[in-house]
A and B are shown apart, each in its own frame.
Chain A
């Protein structure tokens, strides 16, 4: 059976002013099912937000997209805007990075959600207002605050409102791009609890885009680690932490301080990611890798499934027979 949302071999290129091209996403494949929480992890510029925007069909005109975005088996990219539009916001929705600061400052929060409902012809008038109250309650905003303006709400409450707006049309897939990055740790915990509840109660499929590995370890069941436009490792979060099969995943974890092990050395990863406006030769992580060997400099490793649901793109696994 196919997954609820499946992305197959997604590529994104951006036209550059100098006539060149930037290959931002280089063959990303991932799948997420109802109730599942998938973490999409990586550093800035690795292509995680571009992947999210491509899934939504929201990239600017300077971008070219190839690959397939299948919702219940239907390819949303096949017919451009005509095949994407009936599903965007309705079946797949996104909470943009910084959405809590992008609410209309001169309109009451509740009215903004009601407007979204009416625009998408989900409901009108009193029905739309009742549905707004329901949505606000689902994200933990007391109904009385629907009449507040965004500046009268705290950051956590604004983020809840942004999530409520993304959920307006009862989507089955929600993409959340760095939903807790600007928030305090206690408010972050409240928002993560909310997202967790939405997945459990409504069977929402969540794609959590973040640079924060512990947040993914806490909330997600599976994760995909991106580097230089591709997924370099993918699997259950437990396997990624306890048995990483790509040095980048292992090094990212060791670069993250942890409260359970405060005496542990925290190590930075030397160097910087490669430029994506020129062809990559060999493994894109090789110049920064601590386990580099002969084939890394000239053969680009492919993402291979090593154990059930655990795949990595690293030559260290070349001797491991492929699994199903």
Chain B
């Protein structure tokens, strides 16, 4: 693993206004805000895969959208390859965009059904005005297909998405990102729509790209996948990262009660495994009214009175891995 930070997010805050509707506006109801991302620090290095895990609504997708500059943060900073991109205009961003590419969850929707593989993978080159002549572009398309192990490329170039399996489609979608030679990939649930038998293939492909030097931010709710493939895991709850560290330490020595509960409810393959799941009641509170003190307190099985007083910050728990941090006063 190299040590150069590719992406550095500091104190990121993203809020959305809640529409009050006509009645609410006329009645001058109080304006409400969704605190989607509420102070997130995140670093991804070149050659590293970081998994951002958490339940729906925890802010993991919003964090990724902010990194991609698809939503504007209220405060905080996003640095990419050392350059502050938090406030860059769309025109200045454009050359940077090809360095940061996205892999979407559903390859059935992310590919244009009318475009052959050749055109789908070539399109990003045309949009960015790259690749030179037609022949040179074709060469780059072939290289990209080879990198995603769709070989020989001739077998795939003229096919339409509907002629491909789910796994092959996801490979084409990844190739369409790779053709721009990005340094950084954001993969949002890249295998959750795929069959079990092909998931490992896509994950190993991403793993290979990471080993070749790309930084990857993988958003997932699947802890077992994160545990196996990510170098580091960051667990989000209600807009905050509540625990992060090297994947193996977070999985084997989780210190935050939320991480512990999440890990305990992941079904294991072995039917003889009878560990007791810690099932949290209710749902994540909505991000409009964030509880005072520790935001996990109302659902926390370990909460004590002191948890109401302080909003705990990430710090290294005693005896934990040197790079592991948890936001819990009891950790």
Q: Is A190 an interface residue (CB 8 A)?
A: yes
CB pair B268 A257 closer than 8 Å: no
Contact partners of A156 in chain B: CB under 8 A = 283
Contact partners of B197 in chain A: CB under 8 A = 43, 251-252, 255, 268-269
Query: Closest A-chain residue to B279, C-beta based?
Result: A189
A241 CA / B273 CA spacing, docked (Å): 11
CB pair B269 A189 closer than 8 Å: no
CB pair B221 A241 closer than 8 Å: no
Q: Is B130 an interface residue (CB 8 A)?
A: no
Binds A, one of B78-86, B91-99, B258-266, B301-309: B258-266
A154 CA / B55 CA spacing, docked (Å): 13
Contact indicator per residue, chain B 218-260, by CB within 8 Å of chain A (1) or not (0): 0001111101110000000000000000011001100000000
Q: Is B18 an interface residue (CB 8 A)?
A: no
Q: Quick one: which of A154, A263, A266 contacts B283, CB cutoff 8 A?
A: A154
CB pair A258 B261 closer than 8 Å: no
Q: Is A259 an interface residue (CB 8 A)?
A: yes
CB pair A255 B200 closer than 8 Å: yes
CB distance from B52 to the nearest CB of A (A): 14
A93 CA / B181 CA spacing, docked (Å): 52
CB distance from B194 to the nearest CB of A (A): 9
Given the contacts A193-B279, A237-B271, A257 and B204 also touching, CB distance less than 8 Å: no
Q: Is A260 an interface residue (CB 8 A)?
A: yes
CB distance from A52 to the nearest CB of B (A): 18
Query: Closest B-chain residue to A211, C-beta based?
Result: B196
A213 CA / B267 CA spacing, docked (Å): 9
CB distance from B297 to the nearest CB of A (A): 16
Contact partners of B34 in chain A: CB under 8 A = none
CB distance from B280 to the nearest CB of A (A): 6
A264 CA / B200 CA spacing, docked (Å): 12
Contact residues of A between 267 and 320, Cβ < 8 Å to B: 267-269, 272
Query: Closest A-chain residue to B278, C-beta based?
Result: A189
Q: Is B198 an interface residue (CB 8 A)?
A: yes
Say which size band chain B's interface belongs to: 35 or more
Q: Is B165 an interface residue (CB 8 A)?
A: yes
Contact residues of A between 85 and 143, Cβ < 8 Å to B: none
Q: Is B31 an interface residue (CB 8 A)?
A: no
Contact residues of B between 271 and 326, Cβ < 8 Å to A: 271-273, 277, 279-280, 283
CB pair B269 A214 closer than 8 Å: yes
Contact indicator per residue, chain A 221-255, by CB within 8 Å of chain B (1) or not (0): 00000000000000001100110000000011101
Contact partners of B200 in chain A: CB under 8 A = 255, 257, 266-268
Query: Closest B-chain residue to A43, C-beta based?
Result: B195
CB pair B272 A266 closer than 8 Å: no
A187 CA / B266 CA spacing, docked (Å): 11
CB pair A238 B195 closer than 8 Å: no
Q: Is B33 an interface residue (CB 8 A)?
A: no
Query: Closest A-chain residue to B251, C-beta based?
Result: A262
Contact partners of B280 in chain A: CB under 8 A = 186
Contact partners of B283 in chain A: CB under 8 A = 154, 156, 187
CB pair B196 A252 closer than 8 Å: yes
Q: Quick one: which of A189, A215, A257, A263 contacts B277, CB cutoff 8 A?
A: A189
CB distance from B228 to the nearest CB of A (A): 4
CB distance from B130 to the nearest CB of A (A): 32
In the complex, the number of residue pairs spanning A and B with C-beta atoms less than 8 Å apart equals 121
CB pair A268 B273 closer than 8 Å: no
Query: Closest A-chain residue to B56, C-beta based?
Result: A184
Contact partners of A192 in chain B: CB under 8 A = 267
Contact partners of B252 in chain A: CB under 8 A = 262
Q: Is B30 an interface residue (CB 8 A)?
A: no
Query: Closest B-chain residue to A188, C-beta based?
Result: B265
CB distance from B137 to the nearest CB of A (A): 30
CB pair A262 B247 closer than 8 Å: yes
CB pair B269 A213 closer than 8 Å: yes
Q: Is B203 an interface residue (CB 8 A)?
A: yes
CB pair A259 B262 closer than 8 Å: no
A256 CA / B182 CA spacing, docked (Å): 29
CB distance from A233 to the nearest CB of B (A): 14
Q: Quick one: which of B198, B222, B271 contacts A238, CB cutoff 8 A?
A: B271
Query: Closest B-chain residue to A154, C-beta based?
Result: B283
Contact partners of A251 in chain B: CB under 8 A = 197
A139 CA / B285 CA spacing, docked (Å): 21
Q: Is B201 an interface residue (CB 8 A)?
A: yes
Q: Is A30 an interface residue (CB 8 A)?
A: no
Contact partners of B248 in chain A: CB under 8 A = 262-263
A244 CA / B110 CA spacing, docked (Å): 37
A241 CA / B229 CA spacing, docked (Å): 23
A257 CA / B200 CA spacing, docked (Å): 8
Contact partners of A186 in chain B: CB under 8 A = 55, 261-262, 265, 279-280
CB pair B196 A259 closer than 8 Å: no
Contact partners of A148 in chain B: CB under 8 A = none
Given the contacts A256-B196, A262-B247, A185 and B223 also touching, CB distance less than 8 Å: yes
Given the contacts A43-B195, A156-B283, A211-B196, A258 and B269 also touching, CB distance less than 8 Å: yes
Q: Is B270 an interface residue (CB 8 A)?
A: yes
CB pair B271 A241 closer than 8 Å: yes
Q: Is A217 an interface residue (CB 8 A)?
A: yes
Contact partners of A259 in chain B: CB under 8 A = 223-224, 227, 251, 263, 266, 268
Binding site for B on A (CB under 8 A): 43-44, 154-156, 184-190, 192-193, 211-215, 217-219, 237-238, 241-242, 251-253, 255-260, 262-264, 266-269, 272
Can you pick out 22 interface pairs between chain A and chain B where the beta carbons lie within 8 Å of each other? A184-B55, A184-B56, A186-B265, A186-B279, A187-B283, A190-B279, A193-B279, A211-B195, A212-B196, A212-B267, A214-B224, A214-B266, A215-B267, A255-B196, A257-B228, A258-B224, A258-B269, A259-B224, A259-B263, A262-B252, A266-B203, A266-B204
Binding site for A on B (CB under 8 A): 55-56, 165-167, 195-201, 203-204, 221-225, 227-229, 247-248, 251-252, 261-263, 265-273, 277, 279-280, 283
Given contacts A241-B269, A253-B269, A258-B270, 6 further A-B contacts (CB under 8 A): A186-B262, A189-B277, A190-B279, A255-B199, A266-B200, A268-B167
